[in-house]
A and B are shown apart, each in its own frame.
Chain A
Amino acid sequence: MADIFDRFAGLMAQRDALFGDGGRDPFSVTMTEVLSQTEAMIDGHRTILVGTNNYLGLTFAPEALAAAHAALDAGGTGTTGSRVANGTYSGHTELEQALREFYNTKHAMVFSTGFLANAGILSTLMGPDDFILMDADCHASIYDGVRASAAQIIRFKHNDAADLDKRLARLADKPGNKLIVVEGIYSMLGDMAPMKEIAAVKRKHANTYLLSDEAHSLGVLGKYGRGLPEQEGVEEDVDFIVGTFSKSVGTVGGFCVSNHPQFNILRLVCRAYVFTASLPPAVVAAAKVNLGLIHNGGALRTRLMRNARHLHTGLSELGLKIASGVSPVVAVVAPDPQVAATFWRGLLDAGVYVNLALPPATPFGYSLLRASLCAVHTEEQLDEVIAIFAGVATSLGLIEPHRKRLAAG
């Protein structure tokens, strides 16, 4: 008789081929002590963290720590209830007010994670006669959301506004509403949406709305950190922004903001909002404080981009292939999953933590060593990271030893 787990046999074989020898694997990395935003003890070794999405380094912001401590003592460790039951404290409504002020929108809704915000909004917003047009490289939470939607789902080619335009034109005679879904910065490769062109395509077609997931661009792009729409000057065209507190905001939680006058009806119908417990008070307090720090965080963004440029330049000068231009996500492309896994282990053993990302979770079937920068990485840390990359890549035969010296000298 078939075992209930038999259907995972292929995946288990793949996992065992890559990691079955008992060495370190990405599924069991444990930070035994967090030393700072950029360093932790992993298996007893001091390790530089270059894969945490902690873009601005706000996880230990003193103002947020103080607010979180106070909220914890005042409100307890959890709300034990959904936002529409006993789980809305004044902290939650203040955080929504802070989001409205941050984005200058009429409405804001706080979810318990960014995953739930995407899944909740996208599964609910559109009906059976409607169409969702999503970028093919969208995040898993967007895929899960649209899969649960009654709408017709159409993918367009990654970052290809002309392809989107063509697909919208084909739907011109269909009566339903259309929702375009993109991300500001795509998580795996760190590339940005052509937001101006997408906004122009949206304006061209009737009954067409635009949602942007700003998970990786909140706090990172724009003078005031409002993400790619702010940087590109098209905020008026973006009808819904979804975001997370789990990256630059340095805690956990998700949200959606919008100017649509009827937006609040979603509080009654989004199951991922109604049927899950709300964020604990300490998290809510920290998120609110850090949103303020992000609004005034121009100096942090400058440091983040300087660090991004430093790592991108350093790694490409070694002769490594980087998947996209300068961005706070620096994804090094390895030739295949086996080499990527060995590379990843070599880096970790030498004291550098990055994310290992393998197909089918990656665009183009890439095998990636995905690094993400933090504003508070020091130049010395990044030079050490580059040197360790050089050593491991040389030992794997991926780069010529002399290129390293050329780059360094």
Chain B
Amino acid sequence: MAATAGHNNLNAKLVLLGDMGAGKSSLVLRFVKGQFLEFQESTIGAAFFSQTLAVNDATVKFEIWDTAGQERYHSLAPMYYRGAAAAIIVYDITNADSFTRAKKWVQELQKQGNPNMVVALAGNKADLEDKRKVTAEEARVYAEENGLFFMETSAKTAANVNDVFYEIAKRLPRAQPAQKPAGMVLVDRPAEGSRAASCCS
């Protein structure tokens, strides 16, 4: 639906949602540039990135919206998840409140988002095991109940970061003729190399 196919190229809008400081920008930066910053600037409004992945027979070009996490920015979120093919809901495993916040995002997307949206739940900062407040088991059970796929990630060590995006790319519905490409356009030129990403912050 929201992912559109052109030859073997797929364009997919992806949005990151989650509490402030959960590590949304860090996950994107790791995925797009392979970097990690100890102090990542807080995001205002949202930042846009794009990155292309080769999965099996196709290339998927992600158009990523990294949103601001502070509660009051919530009212801007629909603008970013409207028409999205995929979402990553991020929480910080060392912060129980951020998990509560993540569940609220899940609910909201289930009601308001695109029904075919591929939703991932990412428990980030998995490198901080000694400060853990949310068990992987609890999150896995929740994810199963809600039809999300779940991974614990670390933007710092890079653990599972690319995997989340690959997994989403694999699950994107394809071969369906796009009914209404919301916010998407077909690409008919060859996709850029999978590491040649344009990034904007």
Real complex partners, A and B? no
A binding-site residues for B, Cβ under 8 Å:
none
B binding-site residues for A, Cβ under 8 Å:
none
